[in-house]
Amino acid sequence: MSHEHMSIVGLGASGKAAALLALNQGMTVYVSELSTHARVAARARELQALGADVQLGGHDFDRIQSSEVVVVSPGIPQDAEVLRELRNRGVRWIAEPEFAVRFYQGSLIAVTGTNGKTTTAVLIDHLLNTAGMDSALGGNVGGGLAPPASELALRRPAPEWYVLEVSSFQLADTVRFAPDIGVLTNLGIDHLDRYPDVAAYHRDKSHLFDRATDASRWVLNGEDRAVLELARPASGRRFLFRRDPPGPARESGDAGGDEWVAAFLSDGILTLQVTGNGEPEPLLSREELPLLGSHNVLNALAAGITARLAGASPEEIRDGLRSFRPIPHRLEPVAEAGGILWVNDSKATNVAAATSAMESLDRPLIVLLGGKDKGEDFGPLARPIRSRARAVVVYGEAAPRLERELGEALRSLGEEEERTVPPMVRVDEGFDAAVAVGASLAQPGDAVLLAPACSSFDLFEDYEERGRRFSDLARRGVRREGGG
């Protein structure tokens, strides 16, 4: 038990979980939060009843400065006034997962990346549990799928494996965070509303490797040069996943035999080869994988390697892959009627994710794009739209820039290829109206795809609320059509 003084800035779900863990460890806990919202006030009352000192509507900087441990919510922007004041006072802080792992008693798997990290983390946990291992999932997963990292530290008995999804914001504020197995799904462009440039965003991701040792194991996207470059300086062994099989001899990188292709597709079969020169271990065919999209093949290969390294057998991994079910709001088929499929990918909050969603579906698309503008260049959406979409509907705060930038890119592409481009319809009357326009444009054989390429905060509390609304509207439409 500790008698340290701890301050927590921000009373979201992770702040509450950190406070509960600190109280459990006998620490003196002070929590401060600017918001006085009813949901926050309820959390405050719960913590006060357990002995924490909670201040809503402001911060006691002297008290925070005098604390031995300071945890800051990842939702607070780096240029927020509270963080500026803490920096001016020379206060160092850590992320909530960094605090949590100090109390973990099992092995740690950490999953990060621009896209696919939630599906991969949830899938790893599912595979380990299917194999009869005691695995606990948490971290940045969100959506009610798993608790914050600190909550897992309170589990008794302690699990054999902790599987944490971690964001760039969380990795930025780590000190001792050292996963036994680290997974990097991919690296793209995201969060330019929070970072000055892509390099700064990738720098925060690189903290995954800060405490690498020769015993570390890294599961890396072998199709993503940025991933391989970010991981290259780190000690440990690298297990690559990619769609193409390795050549006749084992492929080694610059890591002196500590890097090889460990998961791949062989004649359409998801296959593992985690022992380098060992025999390939076939799992199941692409058609048997119960997940839409080619990107989910990569997520399944990453999860398969990780589970194998943790001790699951190929047979157990095969059973786990077969029994896995799609995660809500991630390329989730939600309704079908009149030959029209409705797909909810509300979690596609950046251009790379929206592109992946479009490229993953093999039917003509009506694509819904829009939401809160995160500052990305929308031009790269033109090519997948040109090749996959029948029409595009843009809505929300980002609609004017989408209409302008994407429209210019599509026209330029059309002139270059001497072909017509899909029509774009701007809807300013709200989300429901945008979905209705999408439905009116769809024809039998099409898919209406919500892949916004933007965050949800202009119209919704989060991407889950947006996805639920889309799914509800889709199912209502299906019922009106009399479909199933």
Residue 78 pLDDT:
82
Write the Ramachandran bin of 465: left for phi over 0, alpha for psi from -120 to 50, otherwise beta: alpha
**Is 80 exceeded by the pLDDT of residue 157?**
yes
> What gap in Å lies between CA 163 and CA 149, rounded to an integer?
9
We find that the CATH architecture of domain 332-481 is Alpha-Beta Complex (3.90)
**Matching fold, domains 5-93 and 332-481:** no
Least confident of 202-206, 324-328, 434-438: 324-328
- List beta partners, residue 382: none
Q: In what order do the strands lie in the sheet with 447-450?
A: 332-337, 340-344, 447-450, 365-370, 389-395, 424-427
Q: E-strand spans in 356-456?
A: 365-370, 389-395, 424-427, 447-450
- To the nearest whole percent, how much of the chain has pLDDT over 90? 74
3-state secondary structure at position 6: strand
> What gap in Å lies between CA 155 and CA 301, rounded to an integer?
29
Q: In what order do the strands lie in the sheet with 107-112?
A: 135-139, 161-165, 107-112, 181-184, 217-221, 237-241, 259-266, 269-272, 281-285
Average pLDDT of the segment spanning 315-337: 88
162-195 pLDDT tens trace: 999 999 989 999 999 999 999 999 998 776 777 7
CB 386 within 8 A of CB 413: yes
**Is 90 exceeded by the pLDDT of residue 225?**
yes
HSE-CB of 27 using CA atoms within 13 angstroms: 21
The mean predicted confidence, pLDDT, of the chain is: 91
Choosing among 3.40.1190.10, 3.30.920.30, 3.30.720.210, 3.60.70.12, the CATH entry for 97-323 is 3.40.1190.10
**Is 70 exceeded by the pLDDT of residue 402?**
yes
For the chain, give every domain's residue range: 5-93, 97-323, 332-481
Least confident of 35-44, 56-65, 273-282, 399-408: 273-282
Question: Predicted confidence band at 140 (pLDDT cuts at 50, 70, 90)?
Answer: confident
Q: Which residue in the block uniquely carries the two structure tokens 């009610």?
A: 144
Calculate the CA 96 to chain-centre distance.
17
Average pLDDT of the segment spanning 383-400: 95
**Is 70 exceeded by the pLDDT of residue 382?**
yes
Question: Predicted confidence band at 154 (pLDDT cuts at 50, 70, 90)?
Answer: very high
CB 425 within 8 A of CB 367: no
Question: Predicted confidence band at 69 (pLDDT cuts at 50, 70, 90)?
Answer: very high
Report the DSSP pairing between strands 340-344 and 365-370.
Answer: unpaired
Report the DSSP pairing between strands 281-285 and 269-272.
Answer: antiparallel
Backbone phi and psi for residue 18, each to the nearest 5 degrees, phi listed first? -65, -40
**Is 80 exceeded by the pLDDT of residue 367?**
yes
HSE-CB of 384 using CA atoms within 13 angstroms: 22
Question: Predicted confidence band at 243 (pLDDT cuts at 50, 70, 90)?
Answer: very high
Residue 190 pLDDT:
74
Q: Which residue in the block uniquely carries the two structure tokens 């199709």?
A: 223
> What gap in Å lies between CA 2 and CA 108, rounded to an integer?
23
Q: Which residue in the block uniquely carries the two structure tokens 């481009």?
A: 421
Q: How many residues does the chain have?
A: 484
Q: Which amino acid is at 297?
A: V
Least confident of 3-12, 193-202, 454-463: 193-202
Question: Predicted confidence band at 112 (pLDDT cuts at 50, 70, 90)?
Answer: very high
Q: Which amino acid is at 49?
A: A
Question: Predicted confidence band at 261 (pLDDT cuts at 50, 70, 90)?
Answer: very high
Write the Ramachandran bin of 257: left for phi over 0, alpha for psi from -120 to 50, otherwise beta: left
In three-state form (DSSP H/G/I as H, E/B as E, the rest C), the secondary structure along 248-316 is CCCCCCCCCCCEEEEEEEECCEEEECCCCCCCCEEEEEHHHCCCCCHHHHHHHHHHHHHHHHHCCCHHH
Q: Which amino acid is at 366?
A: I
Q: In 10 A of CB 243, how many CB atoms?
A: 15
Q: Which CATH class is domain 5-93?
A: alpha beta
Residue 335 pLDDT:
85
> What gap in Å lies between CA 191 and CA 170, rounded to an integer?
13
